[in-house]
């Protein structure tokens, strides 16, 4: 059995690593001949302003008094340059946004291996193709494009002959990364006065820098200016997804080589932004990544996509074969050892031929030769050859497979089809729930109806009613708003009070049940109740402090970290009986969960835990209904290391339903229902 678990871990580790070879491959192509245009450029220098986290609407819209928050940029739009909206793409983060802006390609997903701090492979960008680049701003962004950029002050060029000659060269870039707007958006949200006032500060700063540059170069008309943003931000102060508030960013450009504003009477945009921003008479020119209309670019991108995904289908098929084979082998071992489904059938079946291993060896040699002539990396050999021994092990259990199939055929066809239909439908609901949260609600409503189609409703009405109530109550949560809602600290406090009342009833029962008043179990529960109270106090004072814009108090930080650390340890100190251990886990998890909650989600783990407690009672009833010899009561179950093998039972088809319930509850506890 130990060998089986080790092999299982190895198989999962290998195929987990295959994800990086199949999907996390670099989109870059090396070894190509650089191409240059013979036409002289209209500008000698480029000044690039990137306002990190600036939303398009915040820049372009007028304030409550009808005035622009960025009067200098507004004047550029109306009198000097071109403007529009830049449509960024997911992930709307600073690094991929700047890669797209400065290097002209989507984020290199292989950079995940470097923690998104740098690229595993080099790439061309505006920075390294320029003759000189001077950059100011966040080091997180600047060091991404070059390791040796020197942030020098521009006014020093007048007193430094070497620097003066460099800044007067052609093909030079001045890059200013402005981080303040993003910082204020995270801290105070984009609808706050701080965020909007920061736009005015940025506008004043750009006006000053442009004036200084024009004066230094004597208004020679050879400077091009671009003002844009890497991503936007949601109303609740986050970015990274594909909401329009995150993907729509401003793009304003003026100077050498840029068209002057064009007045128009009508524009081809189906949104209401132009009228809302009072810019309907100035031609808007948006920038879309990849939706460029030129056929050559479209075909080139299509060709690159084909090149980079050439092996994806082939590798995916092999990984699927390996996972299906391993799942089949594990299922066969369970059926063989713990089920009577494959027993009681005639064993006069011819064993697999000795040619079976030879066949697999021959197939393996052919696959290896195929990979060799294609000069594939060594990891491809692992992904393609690993399914061979797995499926050989599956086919060695040919007797079990045949007996199992014959056993299934003894079931009434309607019952068998019904099982397959329900199981397939349940799997589809689980998959769809990753894309449509309301599918979780549909699944939980189906769970609530389950007692009506079994004998549970007639034999245990109180347990059935509890199951129905908590299933329907839990089904409400996926329908609630995910993000963007205002925090409701009173719901958090209410969840904490409910847990305290539940804890108080348990402690009271312990006092009545024990011979002596004080014991370790009681002290542990009292300590966990104190932890709940502290979490409630920290959550309330943190909410109040952030509302007053006073930051997070140090005391609250200390208590929060202590609570988080203790939540992993305290359940291990509780008694080993099933109910008391699970209740201790609930109290510890709620202490940490209250600290992370801002509203109704604080009630979620409490309702989920109640439903799972009821589920244990429900399964105990179903075992007794089926006359299973396993008669141990739930209250006597222990978390011990010495299971009684005489209490083990054979597996039945109903255990498939139990496994499905377990996976569903696990999904509910893991999926990002709220964020």
The C-alpha torsion from 71 through 75 and 78 to 80, rounded to 10°, is -150
β-pair type (81-87, 287-288): parallel
> Could you report the per-residue pLDDT of 585-620, keeping only the tens digit for each?
899 989 998 998 888 888 998 999 999 889 988 888
Q: Is it the case that residue 515 has pLDDT exceeding 60?
A: no
Average pLDDT over the chain reads 83
> Could you report the per-residue pLDDT of 223-256, keeping only the tens digit for each?
999 999 999 999 888 888 888 999 999 999 999 9
Strand partners, 551: none
What is the mean predicted confidence (pLDDT) over 304-321?
A: 85
pLDDT given for residue 104 in this prediction: 81
For 462, how many CA atoms within 13 A lie in the half-sphere containing its CB? 1
> Could you report the per-residue pLDDT of 59-91, keeping only the tens digit for each?
999 999 999 999 999 999 999 999 999 988 888
Q: Is the pTM of this model over 0.85?
A: no
> Could you report the per-residue pLDDT of 158-211, keeping only the tens digit for each?
678 888 888 889 999 999 999 889 999 988 889 999 999 999 999 999 999 999
Sign of the torsion formed by the C-alpha atoms of 71, 73, 78 and 83: negative
Share of residues in the chain with pLDDT > 70 (%): 85
Record the tokens describing residue 540, joined without a space.
């309330």
Higher-pLDDT residue of 626, 246: 246
Residue 519 contacts by C-beta under 8 Å, 6 or more apart in sequence? Answer: none
Query: What b-and-e string marks burial along 380-414, b requiring 16 or more CB atoms within 10 Å of the CB?
Result: bebbbbbbbebbbbbbbbebbbbbbeebeeeeeee
What is the mean predicted confidence (pLDDT) over 46-52?
A: 94
Complete DSSP assignment for 217-282:
TTT-S-EEEEEE-S----TTS--SS--HHHHEEEEEEEETT-PPP-B-S-----SSHHHHTT-TTB
> Could you report the per-residue pLDDT of 278-293, keeping only the tens digit for each?
999 999 988 764 744 5
Q: Is it the case that residue 149 has pLDDT exceeding 90?
A: no
- How many other CB atoms are there within 10 angstroms of residue 116's CB atom? 18
656 vs 653: CA distance, rounded Å: 6
Lowest mean pLDDT among 40-44, 120-124, 434-438: 120-124
Total residues found in the chain within this entry? 675
> Could you report the per-residue pLDDT of 96-119, keeping only the tens digit for each?
888 889 888 776 666 655 555 566
CA 209 to chain centre: 39
pLDDT given for residue 162 in this prediction: 85
Which band of pLDDT confidence, cut at 50, 70 and 90, is reported for residue 334? confident
């Amino acid at each position: 059995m130990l060998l089986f678990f080790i092999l299982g871990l190895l198989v999962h580790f290998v195929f987990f690593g295959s994800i990086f070879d199949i999907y996390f491959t670099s989109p870059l192509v090396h070894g190509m001949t650089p191409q240059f245009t013979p036409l002289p450029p209209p500008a000698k220098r480029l000044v690039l302003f990137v306002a990190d986290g600036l939303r398009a609407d915040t820049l372009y819209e007028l304030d409550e008094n009808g005035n622009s928050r960025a009067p200098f940029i507004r004047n550029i739009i109306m009198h000097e340059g071109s403007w529009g909206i830049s449509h960024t793409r997911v992930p709307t983060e600073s690094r991929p946004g700047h890669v797209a802006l400065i290097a002209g390609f989507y984020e290199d997903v292989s950079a995940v291996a470097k923690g998104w701090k740098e690229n595993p492979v080099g790439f061309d960008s505006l920075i390294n193709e320029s003759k000189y680049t001077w950059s100011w701003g966040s080091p997180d962004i600047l060091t991404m494009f070059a390791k040796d950029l020197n942030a020098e002050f521009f006014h020093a060029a007048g007193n430094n002959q070497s620097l003066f000659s460099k800044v007067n060269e052609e093909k030079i870039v001045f890059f200013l990364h402005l981080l303040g707007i993003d910082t204020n958006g995270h801290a105070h949200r984009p609808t706050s006065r701080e965020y909007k006032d920061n736009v005015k500060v940025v506008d004043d700063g750009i006006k000053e820098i442009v004036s200084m540059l024009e004066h230094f170069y004597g208004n020679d008309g050879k400077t091009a200016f671009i003002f844009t943003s890497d991503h936007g931000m949601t109303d609740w102060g986050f970015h990274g997804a594909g909401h329009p508030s995150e993907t729509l960013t401003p793009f304003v450009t003026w100077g050498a080589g840029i068209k002057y504003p064009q007045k128009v009477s009508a524009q081809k945009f189906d949104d209401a932004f132009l009228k809302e921003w009072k810019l309907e008479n100035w031609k808007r020119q948006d920038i879309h990544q990849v939706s460029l209309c030129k056929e050559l670019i479209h075909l080139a991108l299509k060709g690159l996509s084909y090149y980079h995904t050439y092996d994806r289908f082939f590798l995916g098929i092999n990984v699927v074969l390996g996972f299906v084979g391993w799942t089949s082998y594990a299922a066969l071992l369970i059926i063989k050892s713990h089920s009577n489904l494959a027993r009681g059938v005639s064993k006069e079946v011819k064993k697999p031929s000795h040619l079976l291993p030879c066949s697999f060896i021959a197939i393996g040699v052919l696959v290896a030769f195929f990979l060799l002539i294609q000069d594939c990396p060594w990891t491809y050999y692992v992904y393609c050859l690993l399914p061979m021994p797995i499926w050989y092990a599956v086919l060695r259990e040919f007797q079990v497979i045949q007996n199992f199939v014959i056993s299934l055929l003894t079931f009434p066809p309607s019952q068998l089809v019904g099982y397959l239909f329900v199981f397939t439908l349940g799997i589809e609901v689980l998959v769809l729930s990753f894309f449509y949260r309301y599918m979780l609600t549909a699944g939980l409503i189906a769970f609530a109806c389950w007692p009506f189609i079994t004998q549970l409703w007639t034999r245990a009405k109180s347990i059935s009613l509890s199951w129905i109530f908590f299933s329907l109550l839990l089904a409400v949560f996926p329908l609630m708003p995910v993000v963007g809602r205002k925090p409701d600290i009173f719901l958090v406090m209410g969840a904490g009070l409910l847990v305290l009342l539940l804890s108080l009833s348990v402690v009271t029962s312990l006092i009545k049940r024990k011979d002596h008043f004080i014991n370790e179990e009681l002290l542990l529960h009292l300590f966990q109740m104190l932890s709940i109270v502290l979490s409630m106090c920290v959550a309330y004072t943190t909410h109040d402090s952030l509302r007053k814009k006073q930051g997070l108090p140090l005391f609250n930080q200390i208590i929060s970290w202590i609570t988080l650390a203790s939540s992993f340890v305290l359940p291990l100190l509780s008694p080993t009986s099933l109910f008391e251990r699970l209740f201790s886990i609930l109290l510890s998890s709620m202490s940490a969960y209250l600290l992370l909650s801002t509203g109704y989600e604080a009630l979620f783990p409490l309702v989920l835990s109640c439903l799972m407690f009821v589920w244990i009672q429900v399964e105990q009833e179903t075992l007794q209904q089926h006359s299973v010899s396993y008669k141990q009561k739930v209250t006597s179950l222990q978390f011990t290391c010495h299971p009684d093998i005489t209490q083990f039972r054979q597996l039945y088809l109903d255990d498939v339903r139990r496994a499905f319930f377990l996976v569903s509850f696990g999904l509910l506890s893991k999926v990002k229902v709220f964020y």
